[in-house]
Structure 1
Amino acid sequence: MSTSFATTRFSSVQRGRLITAARTTFTAHGYHGTTMDTVSAVADVTKPVLYRHFSTKSELYLAVILEYLDDLADRLRDAHDAATSDFDRVRHCVGVLFDLVECGPHSTSELVFGAGAVGDHTVESRIATALAEFVNTLATRLHPHENRPHRTRLLAAGLLGATLAAADEWHRLRQPISRQSALDTLAGWYCSGLRDGGD
């Protein structure tokens, strides 16, 4: 293994560790409640090491969100590939979204999809673009043969919001029904609306 390759690989692994530490910290304390000192402490690295990878907190925040959305897009692709019917495809996508809400007072999905002002217009714009691209990806996975992109994007955004809210309520009520029943209910509601809806 060449020295340059080993150095690049180590740098990539270290960057991943920093993003993981930042995700934990941002999720627990929010953007404004997190400092670079806190992230470096959680990652067990010095601040100069952190700044070598990320020059600002907003840049680190963006990296957390982009990695999270990339991972979700991969999971939606796998869910789509595993589906055997239209309803099954919707249910699989609902399952991916439902599982974003973690049990407890903090959730990374809340951090990502509730991303607010960070004081850096460039970063805020890139986050907004990434979120819009994710909704487009979800719309494509839900309706791969649909030729009305604006309609499917609206439906995908609605399903995303509804599923996150429902999952949050499911956890709050201490899982009053099984996860399977919850997913069937949400997917059934969505598919029923598609049948009843017009252009």
Structure 2
Amino acid sequence: MSTSFATTRFGTTQRGRLVTAARTTFTTHGYHGTTMDAVSAVADVTKPVLYRHFSHKSELYLAVILEYLDDLTNRLCDLREAPTSDFDRVRRCVGVLFDLVESGPHSTSALVFGSGAVGDHAVESRIATALAEFVDTLATHLHPDEVRPQRTRLLAAGLIGATLAAADEWHRLRQPVSRQSALDSLAGWYCSGLRDSVD
């Protein structure tokens, strides 16, 4: 299991420990099943300490989602440094998404990409914007020379959905093929679809 997603960008600060505790609680119990009491218990702090940093559960949830998306975006940006073939570029993107699924409970990817209503319009709007920005980043990385942004966004969104579904199934079946084979298969499927597509 990859541990890199478990390392908070806030380091060892108290706020960082609170976000890490919230991530554990949200991935285990979901948004509606998580309470501020539960987060403070996992973080081993009092509720006043938690509320000093986050006045509402929705704010804490937003911090968790943004941290995951920041990590994913940074990984994609790191991939841009090395020139690669189209297949390698797709395969590396698939690997980043597989890492997310492997980083914790299988609910992690659903937490990040399936964020539902939290009863706070401002938070929901910020999450939607952050998700859209991530899809844009992925689309740009997958197709750096593409002049049709709407098409590339659709392809990027499709790759996210297909990869996360495949990764979940791979885990459910107890890794019936090697990780390398799984990544190669998904990247090959995506690239062959592009070759066969007709505008």
The 5-angstrom pairing of residues 36-185 of structure 1 reads 36-102=36-102, 106-185=106-185
> How big is the shift at 1:130?
0.9
TM-score of the superposed pair, with normalisation by structure 1: 0.90
- Give, in whole Å, the separation in 2 of the partners of 1:143 and 1:155: 10
Taking structure 1 as reference, are residues 182 and 64 closer, same or farther at Cα in structure 2, changes over 3 Å only? same
Amino acid across the alignment from 1:147? V
Gaps of 5+ in 2: 1-9
- Give, in whole Å, the separation in 2 of the partners of 1:54 and 1:103: 25
Cα deviation code 1:90-128 (max 9, x no counterpart): 110011112221388643111111111111111111111
Q: Which structure: larger Rg? A: 1
Q: What is the RMSD of the two structures over their aligned residues, measured on CA atoms?
A: 1.8
- Give, in whole Å, the separation in 2 of the partners of 1:52 and 1:63: 14
Amino acid across the alignment from 1:19? V
3-state SS of 1:101 partner:
helix
The 5-angstrom pairing of residues 17-32 of structure 1 reads 17-32=17-32
> How big is the shift at 1:68?
0.6
- Give, in whole Å, the separation in 1 of the partners of 2:129 and 2:90: 24
3-state SS of 1:168 partner:
helix
Aligned pair count? Answer: 190
Contact 2:101 2:167 in 1 (8 A): yes
User: Higher relative contact order at CA 8 Å, sep ≥6: structure 1 or structure 2?
Assistant: 2
TM-score of the superposed pair, with normalisation by structure 2: 0.90
Runs of 4+ more than 4 Å apart: none
Contact 1:36 1:57 in 2 (8 A): yes
Gaps of 5+ in 1: 1-9
> How big is the shift at 1:45?
1.0
